[in-house]
Amino acid sequence: MNAPLPAEVLKQHLIDPEICIRCNTCEETCPIKAITHDSNNYVVDPDICNGCMACVPPCPTGAIDNWRLMVRAEAYGVQEQLGWEELPGEKALPETAAALPADDVPAVTGLAAPAPFSAPGATVPPWSAAHPYVNLYTHKTPMTATVVGNYRVTGADTESDIHHIVLDFGELPFPVLEGQSIGILPPGLDAQGRPHHARQYSLASPRDGERAGYNNLSLTVKRVTEDHAGAAAHGVCSNYLCDLAKNDKVQVIGPFGHTFLMPNHPRANLIMICTGTGSAPMRAMTERYRRRIDTGENGRLLLFFGARTERELPYFGPLMKLPRDFIDINLALSRETGQPKRYVQDLIRERAASVRELLADRNTCIYVCGLKGMEVGVLDALRDVTVQGGQDWSILHDALRREGRLHFETY
């Protein structure tokens, strides 16, 4: 009598659609393009994924870290996953397959492992970062916050309508750290008649509140009126947020993020590089430092901030009032009348000596937040200033990532 053939088992990688905030981090990180999305879901193609785990640490919510033991022939396909509202439960394996211990089941065999660093930044926080809370509130259990402030932080006559929005949580817990983000659930339904997905926004306030000692936080939100190509487009969540009035209620999920966090030890230096609303986490970190200025424990702050003009640079007034010996401010203006076009990467090169001095100090962490396009430009500039100083950029870049000292949040 012939024994039954053992079924080939797959440890299938799945994304939980109820937790995922559709931030695109996993798709960007995947070194072999196994992750794709439509307007509903982000999904993993079982025919491509090799279980390399590169996408797992960067995911701000942990939605990415779901696995099911499946008979390969029955693996969930991309189309099926795109239609999911929730993850299916575990399936019982046939006896011939279930005998395999789970840890012995390869995700997919025969594909090469990725290079050790597939992302430009670190996937671990700085060693002294405080431990963050994540996913306390989800799509199914959102928190209601009250709007206690909403005002414009760019010149009224400019096209950049950027708002500073303060949300208060009353007596309910919403513990956050600088560098973390939250999700906002806009009311109403999308074109398919489903509730809108959450939109992610970085905190602009430090851990102890927009107003120190209060249970509130702030966001920096740009009203979206056009897409990346410049065509007219209505940003569902940004317009909702920018139009909120005091005392309105907002549904919030999160917090998210466990790597883009600031160091917590004395004399840690921060190099902050941002454009537009990417200034939110830089404001949070700077404010954290400002509130403890009298302790004498602060390291140096070096800021590179890009905007079209001064009037389109969020928080321009308050930023310029900060003492020069507290923060070294470098503004890169790209469309200021009578001035040459400058990007943050140009200023990094101009300030090469200061950047090199800080890079040489292992107490320095670098944060980059804003337009996706600046990622390459900033990396090139950091490489150039390092090489000019006679150092090997690839060695330094690897160390910055391994030590959790170089962080990107771009969109």
Cα separation values, 146 from 190, 216, 347, Å: 24, 9, 40
Asked if 37 contacts 27 with a C-beta cutoff of 8 angstroms, the reply is yes
Least Å from the CB of residue 269 to ligand A2P: 22
Query: Using alpha carbons only, how large is the chain's radius of gyration in Å?
Result: 23
Burial 370-406 (b: 16+ CB within 10 A, else e): bbeebbebbbebbbbbbeebeeebeebbeebbeebbb
- Reference 177, options 258, 252, 283; nearest CA is 258
Closer by beta carbon to ligand A2P, 349 or else 402: 349
Least Å from the CB of residue 273 to ligand A2P: 9
The owner of tokens 């399936």 is 91
Residues that bind ligand A2P (CB under 6 A): 160, 275-276, 306-308, 334-335, 343-344, 371, 373-374, 377
Cα separation values, 391 from 176, 222, 387, Å: 37, 39, 5
Structure tokens of 121?
């930044």
Least Å from the CB of residue 6 to ligand A2P: 52
The owner of tokens 């930023």 is 319
Least Å from the CB of residue 334 to ligand A2P: 3
Structure tokens of 14?
């799945």
Question: What is the CB-side half-sphere exposure of residue 178 using CA atoms within 13 A?
Answer: 26
Closer by beta carbon to ligand A2P, 155 or else 377: 377
- Label the pairing between strands 269-275 and 249-256: unpaired
Active-site residue list: 201-202, 369, 409, 411
Closer by beta carbon to ligand A2P, 161 or else 168: 161
Least Å from the CB of residue 386 to ligand A2P: 19
Least Å from the CB of residue 307 to ligand A2P: 5
Closer by beta carbon to ligand A2P, 76 or else 343: 343
Least Å from the CB of residue 219 to ligand A2P: 16
Strand-pair partners of 200: 183
